[in-house]
Amino acid sequence: MTFQQNIKGKQILVTGAGGFIGSHLVEALLGHSAQVRAFVHYNSRNDWGLLEELGPSMTSGIEVISADLRDYHAVKQASKGVEIVFHLGASIGIPYSLAYPNDVVETNVMGTLNILKASLENNVLRVVHTSTSEVYGTAQYTPIDENHPLNPQSPYAASKIAADKLAESFFRAYGLPVSILRPFNTFGPRQSLRAIIPTVITQLLDTRKVVVGSLEPRRDFTFVSDTVKGFILLAGKDGVEGETFNLGTKKDISIKELILLTSQIIGVTPEIEVDQRKIRRKQSEVWRLLSENSKAAEILGWAPSYRLEDGLKSTVEWIREKKQFGKPGIYNI
């Protein structure tokens, strides 16, 4: 069976649609004239998360389903009549997973199992499952390619490895057309303060005092528009079933260097303070993540378009406009 790259008019389900990357993906899919069904986590306020940022003119064209990934009946209903599933829904945040591992494992493992079972039963033509560079742990060699050993250093990373392996097993055992996308550290507008870049920006704009954990870890930051481009390219590519693709810039930067670069963009001199509460145990800290992206480049035709500096400028502008985005005085896990 061939798969057409043009997603115009296709029926698409996005889980985690109310999240950071999910909301950007929904926005891009609507721009491609896709028929989008957005799966968001149920709450009594009927709050659609970051989909609300798109505004009524865009959200009016979305079918929103508020439910829980752990409910198989809800997932099965949501994926009926769907051609493509983008599975981004997950319980994220490494400090959160250290505090509440049960919730993270139940959502990420059982939620993914439900997506895979429902997609198989409903004859979905393509499933794109979202992984994370955290599954690699601290780099044993760099740049990190898709064959790098998996080394979970947090319950979150372990849950994502389990979910990835379930996806692989459904391809091998049942022939489910599933592919795995493994973004490195995605950043950009709408990201919450659980992530380092919006935390740094918000603190610099608020008091110029940056309170963080360890300054030495190095990360490969990818702007959200580039990550979304990878999702769409993978969804429309033939012959990639059962394959895993890294998305990263093949460049890394330390947290201290990141703070200094962001300060330069904003035009302030930072005061940096290390908070011991934010420092992970030595065995848990991932010291370096640096991607090898040649597989995505060669097979998908993917390449990052945004320099780190340009992405940071866009993120700073967005947070400035939001003004009181998040709670910068509170440690967000």
Mind listing the pLDDT tens digit for each residue in 89-140? 999 989 999 999 999 999 999 999 999 999 999 999 999 999 999 999 999 9
Asked if residue 245 has pLDDT above 90, the reply is: yes
Question: How many structural domains compose the chain?
Answer: 1
Answer yes or no: is 1 within a domain. no
Answer yes or no: is 139 within a domain. yes
The pLDDT assigned to 11 comes to 97
Q: What is the pTM of this model?
A: 0.94
d(C-alpha 290, C-alpha 220), whole Å: 5
Answer yes or no: is 329 within a domain. no
Give ∠ CA 15-20-25 in degrees, rounded to 5: 60
Which pair of tokens denotes residue 116? 């895979």
Confidence of residue 324 (pLDDT cuts 50, 70, 90): low
Answer yes or no: is 285 within a domain. no
d(C-alpha 126, C-alpha 198), whole Å: 33
- What whole-number percentage of the chain has pLDDT above 90? 86
Answer yes or no: is 93 within a domain. yes
Structural domain containing residue 45: 11-187+222-250+290-305
Answer yes or no: is 319 within a domain. no
**CA 109, chain centre distance (Å):** 16
Answer yes or no: is 258 within a domain. no
Confidence of residue 328 (pLDDT cuts 50, 70, 90): low
**CA 233, chain centre distance (Å):** 16
Q: Is the CB of residue 208 less than 8 Å from the CB of residue 57?
A: no
Answer yes or no: is 173 within a domain. yes
Q: Is the CB of residue 286 less than 8 Å from the CB of residue 134?
A: yes
**26-79 pLDDT, tens digit each:** 999 999 999 999 999 999 898 999 999 998 888 888 999 999 999 999 999 999
Question: Which CATH number goes with the domain that contains 80?
Answer: 3.40.50.720
